Amino acid sequence: MGDAVVGAVLRAAREQAGVSPAQAAACAGLRESRITRLEAAQVRWAREHAVALARWYGMPDREVEELRHLLVARHQHAVPDYGTISGPRLGALEARAVRIRVATQTVPPFVWGWASPEAAGVSAGGSRPWPGCPVTLIWDDLTLDRGYMDAPRTAARLRHLAALVDAEVLSFRLLIPDYDVSFEPVGSELTFADRPALCVSEELSLVVYSNGPRAREKSALLDRQLAAALSPQESLAALRRAAERWSCR
């Protein structure tokens, strides 16, 4: 099995350069179907093919060198997509996801720079488009009590999140931790139709991509937390009560 991050990086670079899969295959001396399977992480990249294509696509030397590190056989990569700045790797992965699940302790509902979808009727300053797939956000009850800068802005963030749920562009679930199930803010899980699932978390301002066994562990944690969470209706009611409490402070 190949690496979903490497495939996403090279596919994004190829599309940005205006190169077709057939042209990429001719450059690398491969079949077009092989390029498609490599980008979908169905087979492993050969280092010489990946680096040659990266240079042909016009990737900067710094990104080509980073790609060399990504090609090392391992299951966790830390690459510099910072904070809410749109990262080409993360954006390319989100655009192809068929499901995204997020467990986080941050108040903003826009994870790593998402802008609100127009259907929500609420504007937001994120730089990346809202994913075109179902998105589920999992919080614990303590997250509702954490403030964001000040009470008015916290209330506004919570009301915004409720608006996204009302517009049916986001599913919100609230977990009340107990001795059996604790809350684990594992970050995002991206599920794809044509490649293994990938988990993304933020660690010390770096976006860390996990696949293979580590991603499966995080996916299992998300399954357990969702199974123990309040229903969507109960979760939304708790969110609205929290917004009202912050509005009165």
pLDDT in tens, 192-245: 886 677 888 776 666 677 777 778 888 999 999 999 999 999 999 999 999 999
Average pLDDT value for the chain: 79
Sign of CA dihedral 62, 66, 67, 69: positive
Q: How confident is the model at residue 113 (pLDDT cuts 50, 70, 90)?
A: low
Q: Are strands 135-140 and 97-103 parallel, antiparallel or unpaired?
A: parallel
Alpha-carbon gap, residue 205 to 25, rounded angstroms: 36
Contacts of 197 (CB under 8 A, 6+ apart): 189, 190, 191, 211, 215, 216, 219
Cβ atoms within 10 Å of 176's Cβ, excluding its own: 14
Contact 167, 117 (CB under 8 A): yes
Q: In the prediction, which pLDDT does 97 show? A: 87
Which residue would you say has higher pLDDT here, 104 or 210? 104
Q: Which of 61-70, 128-137, 235-244 has the lowest mean pLDDT?
A: 61-70
Closest CA to 35 of 1, 60, 55, 43: 43
Tell whether the model's pLDDT for residue 172 goes beyond 70: yes
Q: Where in the chain is the domain with CATH 1.10.260?
A: 4-72
Q: In the prediction, which pLDDT does 234 show? A: 96
Euclidean distance between the first and final Cα of the chain, in Å?
53
pLDDT in tens, 68-88: 766 765 545 545 444 434 455
Fold of 4-72: 434 Repressor (Amino-terminal Domain) (1.10.260)
Q: In the prediction, which pLDDT does 206 show? A: 64
pLDDT in tens, 12-51: 888 888 999 999 999 888 899 999 888 877 788 888 888 9
Question: Torsions phi, psi of 113, nearest 5?
Answer: 90, 20
Q: In the prediction, which pLDDT does 61 show? A: 84
Q: In what order do the strands lie in the sheet with 187-192?
A: 76-79, 206-210, 198-203, 187-192, 97-103, 135-140, 171-175
pTM for the structure as a whole: 0.69
Average pLDDT on 102-126 reads: 57
Q: In the prediction, which pLDDT does 86 show? A: 42
**Residue 89 half-sphere exposure, CB side, CA atoms within 13 Å?**
25
- For 88-247, CATH gives 3.30.870
Which residue would you say has higher pLDDT here, 86 or 151? 151
